[in-house]
Amino acid sequence: MEELSVLRQYIEQGRYSDALLFIDELEEMSKEDKLNKIFSYALILLIHLIKKQAEKKTTRSWDFSIAHAVLQIKRTNLRRKAGGFYAGPEELKEILEEAFDLALKKAALEAFEGRLDETELAAKLDKAAIINEALEEIVKQD
């Protein structure tokens, strides 16, 4: 709550431009926190979509993890009071692309009982299709 004390101090001192700049910083920090959470759930989503595409099968557990990750991304991305979203489709796609390589490393440990390294697993995948599937799940209206 130190931030509120600083904000109060700026307002009480009549330093309105400083207060507005501080509010902008707080908003940016909040957005970064939301985007970091979205990245974490995108990682989980991609791991399971990678395994699903590579192994050409799914499990109830993977389906649950996919649904849970999509729900959490949607919930985190929604600006409840202000309306709208923290990240639009293009920014979401960037997050998915950033998370893909790390997701591939984790999926390589799990898919095919860990027998393939990430390069061998990547050769079995259509990266663009996986990212597009993830994005479609996130942005579709339920």
> Got the DSSP string for the chain?
-HHHHHHHHHHHTT-HHHHHHHHHHHHHHHHHHHHHHHHHHHHHHHHHHHHHHHHT---HHHHHHHHHHHHHHHHHHB-TTT-SBSS-HHHHHHHHHHHHHHHHHHHHHHGGGGTS-HHHHHTT--HHHHHHHHHHHHHS--
Task: Name which residue leads in pLDDT, 136 or 18.
Answer: 136
Q: How much is the pLDDT for 83? A: 85
Q: Indicate the domain borders of the chain.
A: 31-139
Residues 53-103 have pLDDT tens digits of 999 999 999 999 999 999 999 999 999 888 899 999 999 999 999 999 999
Q: How much is the pLDDT for 26? A: 86
Confidence class for position 7, pLDDT limits 50, 70, 90: confident
Q: How much is the pLDDT for 24? A: 87
Residues 8-37 have pLDDT tens digits of 998 999 988 988 998 889 888 988 999 999
The span from the CA of 53 to the CA of 62, in Å, is 12
Q: How much is the pLDDT for 18? A: 86
Q: How much is the pLDDT for 109? A: 97
Angle between helices 127-139 and 60-77 (to 10 degrees): 60
Best CA proximity match to 112, nearest among 97, 101, 123, 127: 123
Q: How much is the pLDDT for 141? A: 81
The span from the CA of 1 to the CA of 70, in Å, is 32
* Mean pLDDT, residues 107-116 taken together: 97
Is residue 1 scored above 80 in pLDDT?
no
